[in-house]
Structure 1
Amino acid sequence: MKFNATKTNEANAVVTATVEANAIATNLDKLAKEAAKTMDVQGFRKGKVPVAVVKSRYADKLTQDAEGEAIRAILTDALKELEISNTDLIGEPAITKFDKQENGDIEIAIELSCRPNVDLGDYKSLLPEIEATEVTDAEVEERINTMAGQNAPLEKIKRKRMVREGDFAVIDFEGFKDGVAFEGGKAEGHTLEIGSGSFIPGFEDQVIGMKYEEQKDITVTFPEQYQAADLAGAEVVFKVTLHEIQEKAAPVIDDEFAAKVLGNEENPTVDLLKEKIKEQITLEKNSKYYNEDLKPKYLETLVEKISFEVPTSVLEQEISQLLNNQVRTMSEDELNALKEDQAKIEKMREEAKPEATNSVKATFIVDALAKAEGVTVEDQEVTQTLYYEAMMQGQDGQALIKQYEEAGYLPAIKMSMIEQKVITKLLDEKAGK
């Protein structure tokens, strides 16, 4: 086989070759003989099918397989010459040229992408300066007051007045569509927090201003996407009676409240609660500071300072992803116009290339950082994290994991977790933690 293998740069290579007709013919004979041993063909005993019959009946499939085997042989030899291991290959080799000649030979060109060598240099010296996180007494007091307020009991207001935002209105209501009461639209003694948005849009706004024992017709329209099909998008009338207005009692912050919040802590006191809340707010602020400020700044610096070539196949995938995101925001007219304008598409790809390049570089840099710092994330850790987050949101953890797995999202989620883990480790070390 004649081939020429050349590295265009450290992350990409091109193989050009002539797949000779006699090599394809040899492969085809071998494949046909192997198939004849196991193939069932009517009129012949199993294992006794003539090779000529197999070739005749399955010529196209056998020829494709024979060509593929010849190309794989060329690729194997080319990788040896280029000193590229299979483990360093990224993505599938792309056949960019496949020209059959009159003599049966095939002229091919194959583009290869491989893992680049990322020299991190003194990457720790590029870490950004870290400012100490401050938590004020006022922030702690505000958090504790909020917690106490959420747990405070409701009390009937001491003087009769009209309903206002933030009140808890005790009401009876019954809903009617076209004058007929509908199922699930009735309740008595229901406590509704005004401003919570828990009822149909517009309902709570119309309760505002009602007085004790006032009866009122409230007209609202159900959302178009409402779960009950017979009510979706329908205008209905609720007959509402206000019985009582309640409000949260003034929160009591004492050692008894602290004991409820702190659970199993020994000697729970308000002072201990303040310490714990301060620690919690500090962790929250640090997490936000790391993720929204320091991590992006550090990655941006690394991408700028560390030079290496990126695999073309990965870069093209990233460009396509960016374009897909952009296309999703287009109108139907814009999409139809774009389909007719190939030059516009190519211009968009070119414009997306710098951002895509930086994104791909960041991925390989994070991978190199993780190896340098000995940071790993196991597959089980990914699924456990997804399961926990789903449960916290009231979702089916197993179903979410299956959905992400089928969509091919798990590798990206794993890389995101590795990024979070390794950069947090480096920032913590820089901060002296």
Structure 2
Amino acid sequence: MDIKAKKIDAANASIEATISNEEIQANVDKIAKQLSKTANVPGFRKGKVPVSAVKQQYGAKLVEDAETQSLRDMLDAGLKQIELTAESLMGEPQITKFDKTADKIEVEVKVAMRPEIELGEYTSLIEDFEKPEVTDEEVMARIKELAESQSPLVDSKSARKLKKGDTVSIDFEGFLDGVAFEGGKAEAFSLTLGSGQFIPGFEDQVIGMKKGEEQTIKVTFPADYGSDKLAGKEVEFKVKVNALQEREEVALDDELAKKMLPGEEDVTFDKLKEQVKIQIENEKLGQLYNSELKPKLLETFVSKIEFALPEFVIDQEMDMAINKKAQTMTEDELKELRENADKVKELRETFRDDARNSVKATFIIDALAKAENISVTEQEVMQTIYFEAMQMGQDPQQAYTHYQNSGYLPAIQMAMVEDKVLSKLLNSKIKDA
């Protein structure tokens, strides 16, 4: 077997070989001889089957197995030439050429290695930045907002026209073709105008009414409404405004602080202000990290840290990108691609730069996580999914099982690692405003 192996770069290598028909036949004889000891061939006792009978029974399969064995031998010999072990490879070897003639097979195999990344003085690539400033006005506005959200609603003496955002107490009764329908009546119902709590058009017509005013409102239920009797039907609501409601004013003092910080000792209004300031500060910092600093930092790492990338991983990323793009294309656009292979290649190439950067970023984050001793356990992934599911009113176990069955858990784990790594690095560069 004539073998030529070479390293393309630190992450990719190729092995070329010409396998003669004689070598394939030698492997066929060897495999047939081994199989003759265990094969079941009609007319022969097990273990006493002639090699010729085995070849006749399993002809095509023997050739296929013999070619596979030759490829294994080629790979082992090629890796030895360039001083690589099978354990150092990443992913499966990719057969990029397999030209078979009557007397030989010409083969090319590409292999990939996990890149060795020299991070260097990576912390020097991170710029210092100022902690977001929180003003006293923002703190007081947040405390007032929190206090009002917990204070009871009381009837206002105001007789002004209602506007969007007002909370009102109303009586209403709905009629379809002049007949009151079930579930369409309530008294002293508290409604915030503009909240979208009622079907479209209802709240808009209450806006502009006054306390004590009565009015008949015409609206049409959505076509997909839950009740078949009302879906798509025009109805009338008799509405009476009982009162404009406002939140009872709450004193901003130590007593409020005690209510808002239960279980803590020596609570004062100043301590509440400190806690709220920290909360707003963290919100602003999180927004700054996610919208600006983290993407910028990762972009800097990708542009500044150089290393060879396994080409097959980039190819996989490009394939995923083009498949995702295909899902958004029209049938005519897809037909054009099916009929023109060059257009497919052209479209695929448009994703190369993004795919390369994405793959590079993944390897960099992995290297940084090792350097910073950061990891995310399966338990942390589960807890995160459970918490988010509960916030959205979903069943946590069902959500976790869905992600698990869809194969999304590794991606979620990697995203969490990325978040931890970049947060830790940025936290080390905060300076007070």
TM-score, normalised with respect to structure 1: 0.86
| Offset, 1:61 | 4.9
Q: For the structure 1 residues 138 and 63, does the alpha-carbon distance in structure 2 shift closer, same or farther, using more than 3 Å as the test? A: farther
| Offset, 1:276 | 0.4
Contact 1:32–1:55 at 8 Å: present in 2 too? no
Q: Which amino acid aligns with 2:332?
A: D
Residue 279 (1) aligns with residue 278 (2)? yes
| Offset, 1:163 | 3.2
* Aligned counterpart, 2:32: 29
| Offset, 1:371 | 1.5
Q: For the structure 1 residues 208 and 110, does the alpha-carbon distance in structure 2 shift closer, same or farther, using more than 3 Å as the test? A: same
Q: For the structure 1 residues 235 and 113, does the alpha-carbon distance in structure 2 shift closer, same or farther, using more than 3 Å as the test? A: farther
* CA distance in 2 between partners of 1:107 and 1:45 (Å): 40
Which secondary structure state, in structure 2, belongs to the residue aligned with residue 359 of structure 1? helix
Contact 1:162–1:208 at 8 Å: present in 2 too? yes
* CA distance in 1 between partners of 2:89 and 2:238 (Å): 69
* CA distance in 1 between partners of 2:230 and 2:16 (Å): 62
| Offset, 1:177 | 6.2
Q: For the structure 1 residues 64 and 169, does the alpha-carbon distance in structure 2 shift closer, same or farther, using more than 3 Å as the test? A: farther
Contact 1:35–1:54 at 8 Å: present in 2 too? no
* Aligned counterpart, 1:411: 410
Task: Give me the CA root mean square deviation.
Answer: 3.2
Q: For the structure 1 residues 136 and 3, does the alpha-carbon distance in structure 2 shift closer, same or farther, using more than 3 Å as the test? A: same
- The share of aligned pairs that are identical, in percent, is 48
* Aligned counterpart, 2:74: 74
Q: Residues 18-51 of structure 1: CA distance to partner in whole angstroms, max 9, x if unpaired?
A: 4431244146426744762xx6x89999888887
| Offset, 1:207 | 2.4
Q: Residues 365-405 of structure 1: CA distance to partner in whole angstroms, max 9, x if unpaired?
A: 11111122222222222222222222222222222222222
Contact 1:171–1:240 at 8 Å: present in 2 too? no
Contact 1:31–1:62 at 8 Å: present in 2 too? no
| Offset, 1:406 | 2.3
* CA distance in 1 between partners of 2:44 and 2:174 (Å): 77
* CA distance in 2 between partners of 1:108 and 1:372 (Å): 40
Q: Residues 187-211 of structure 1: CA distance to partner in whole angstroms, max 9, x if unpaired?
A: 4443222111223233321222344
* Aligned counterpart, 2:134: 135
* Aligned counterpart, 1:242: 240
Deviates more, 1:240-249 or 1:314-323: 240-249
Contact 2:202–2:217 at 8 Å: present in 1 too? no
* Aligned counterpart, 1:385: 384
Q: Which amino acid aligns with 1:207?
A: V
* Aligned counterpart, 1:230: 228
Q: For the structure 1 residues 46 and 129, does the alpha-carbon distance in structure 2 shift closer, same or farther, using more than 3 Å as the test? A: same
Q: Residues 309-347 of structure 1: CA distance to partner in whole angstroms, max 9, x if unpaired?
A: 211111112223333343444333333333333333322
* CA distance in 2 between partners of 1:421 and 1:53 (Å): 64
* Structure 1 unaligned residues grouped into runs of 5+: none
Contact 2:386–2:399 at 8 Å: present in 1 too? yes
* Aligned counterpart, 1:98: 98
TM-score, normalised with respect to structure 2: 0.86
1:246-261 alignment to 2 at 5 Å? 246-261=245-260
* CA distance in 1 between partners of 2:84 and 2:227 (Å): 60
* CA distance in 2 between partners of 1:269 and 1:255 (Å): 5
1:46-85 alignment to 2 at 5 Å? 59-61=59-61, 63-85=63-85
Q: For the structure 1 residues 72 and 197, does the alpha-carbon distance in structure 2 shift closer, same or farther, using more than 3 Å as the test? A: farther
Aligned pairs, how many?
Answer: 427
* CA distance in 2 between partners of 1:147 and 1:412 (Å): 37
Which secondary structure state, in structure 2, belongs to the residue aligned with residue 267 of structure 1? coil
Residue 7 (1) aligns with residue 7 (2)? yes
1:296-375 alignment to 2 at 5 Å? 296-375=295-374
1:199-218 alignment to 2 at 5 Å? 199-211=198-210, 212=212, 214-218=214-218
1:30-45 alignment to 2 at 5 Å? 32-33=35-36, 36=39
Which secondary structure state, in structure 2, belongs to the residue aligned with residue 99 of structure 1? strand
Q: For the structure 1 residues 114 and 276, does the alpha-carbon distance in structure 2 shift closer, same or farther, using more than 3 Å as the test? A: same
Which secondary structure state, in structure 1, belongs to the residue aligned with residue 264 of structure 2? coil
Which secondary structure state, in structure 2, belongs to the residue aligned with residue 9 of structure 1? coil
